[in-house]
């Protein structure tokens, strides 16, 4: 299955439906990251709360991002001890990341234009959000190379030949 998802449907299909189905691991890759709020039951909460809930449930989570998040994100981040001190949550900072993807359990992925922001993947009003497009897939022909690429990024394999190390605040390798 490969499904095209547009605009506010990204929030519904990926954030509200797919992410809660995670059982083993979640990899989030985004260029920009902000204090994104999402639907949780009848209220809206920082997406960090969703990630924290997953980590507390024993789900390994990696967050890859290109730049330091803003002050609201950092303030909210500090409210979740499982993200600060938990062994199941890892953040990888790489200024060259421009990819936007979410990988759930290695079996399903969303790849698209939306960043981890309110106007991208969040619950922002449809008339105020960005115009976004992406694909949800569970096809091995797409998953296998995406997983291998994300793992190479995580392990620092791509750092070895990177010619932007002078701009990297925290080289992985």
Confidence of residue 113 (pLDDT cuts 50, 70, 90): very high
For 18-27, write each residue's pLDDT tens digit: 999 999 999 9
pLDDT digits (tens, 9 = 90+) for 39-50: 888 999 999 999
Task: Judge whether residue 170 has pLDDT over 90.
Answer: no
Q: How far apart are CA 101 and CA 111, in angstroms?
A: 4
Cα(52)–Cα(55) distance, rounded to whole angstroms? 5
28 burial class (0-12, 13-18, 19+ CB within 10 angstroms)?
A: buried
Cα separation, 148 vs 52, in Å, equals 25
Share of the chain above pLDDT 90, in %: 82
Structural domains of the chain in order of their starting residue, each with its CATH number:
2-160 (3.30.870.10)
User: Tell me, what's the pLDDT at 7?
Assistant: 96
List the single range of 37-41, 74-78, 96-100 with lowest mean pLDDT: 37-41
């Amino acid at each position: 299955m490969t499904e095209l998802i547009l605009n506010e449907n990204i929030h519904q299909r990926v954030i509200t439906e797919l992410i809660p189905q995670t059982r083993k691991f979640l990899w989030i890759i985004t260029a920009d990251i902000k204090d994104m709020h999402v639907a949780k039951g009848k209220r809206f909460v920082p997406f960090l709360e969703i990630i924290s809930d997953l980590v507390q449930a024993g789900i390994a989570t990696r967050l890859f991002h290109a730049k330091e998040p803003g002050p609201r994100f950092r303030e909210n981040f500090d409210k979740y001890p499982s993200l600060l001190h938990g062994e199941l949550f890892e953040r990888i900072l790489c200024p060259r990341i421009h990819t936007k993807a979410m990988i759930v359990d290695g079996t399903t992925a969303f790849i698209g234009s939306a960043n981890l922001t309110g106007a991208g993947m969040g619950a922002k009003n449809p008339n105020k959000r960005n115009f976004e497009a992406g694909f949800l897939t569970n096809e091995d022909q797409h998953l296998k190379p995406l997983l291998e690429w994300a793992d190479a990024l995580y392990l620092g394999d791509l750092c070895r030949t990177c010619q932007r190390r002078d701009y990297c605040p925290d080289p992985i390798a």
